[in-house]
Amino acid sequence: MEKRSWLALILLISCSVPTVTFDNVSFNIEIAQTQQERAKGLMFRESMPDNHGMLFVFEKDAPLAFWMKNTLIPLDMVFIDENLSVVDVLAASPCKEDPCPNYRSHGRYVLEINAGLAEKYGIKNGSVMLRK
């Protein structure tokens, strides 16, 4: 893995309030890095402040699939590769009944933020996740 990716991950985890930053916006994040944390994600939450999100951390770049079962708020899923570049942004709606659709892309990280914020702040393919 590139030195830049490891450094960014270490900085994210070591901060008292982890934050990820794109060109013109920062999000305070929760980090889901264990299998159990990734499985629960943002389930059962009724709201989330606009400056918050959840960062899912995986071992390596790989195909990924997310679903919205028991997730109550619409989200943007920002898929980020090991070089910290955005490779995909998907709008995901709460699943109201089975079967729930899968949201598929690839990456090493996935940032979940409130729906519409990626477009509002210009987070798109090629954007780079930074650490201030």
Total domains in the fold of the chain? 1
* pTM, 2 dp: 0.85
Residue 40 maps to a domain:
yes
Higher pLDDT, 132 or 58: 58
| DSSP single-letter state for residue 126 | T
CA-CA distance, 83 to 2, in Å (whole number)? 7
**30 domain-assigned:** yes
- The residue ranking higher by pLDDT, 131 or 4, is 131
Dist. CA 47–CA 35, nearest whole Å: 23
- Residue 131, domain member (yes or no): no
Task: Let me know if residue 69 belongs to a domain.
Answer: yes
Whether residue 31 lies inside any domain: the answer is yes
Residue 106 has pLDDT above 60, yes or no: yes
Q: Which pLDDT tens digit goes with each residue over 4-37?
A: 555 455 555 555 789 999 998 999 999 998 999 9
* DSSP character string of 37-86: HHHHTTTT-----TTEEEEEEEEEEEEEEEE-TT--S-EEEEEE-TTSBE
- Looking at per-residue confidence, does 43 or 17 come out higher? 43
Output the domain CATH number for residue 58. Answer: 2.60.120.1140
43 pLDDT band, cuts 50/70/90, is very high
CA-CA distance, 6 to 8, in Å (whole number)?
Answer: 5
* Assigned domain for 126 exists: no
- Residue 53: domain span: 3-120
DSSP 8-state secondary structure symbol assigned to residue 23? T
Does a structural domain hold residue 98? Answer: yes
Give domain status of residue 56, yes or no: yes
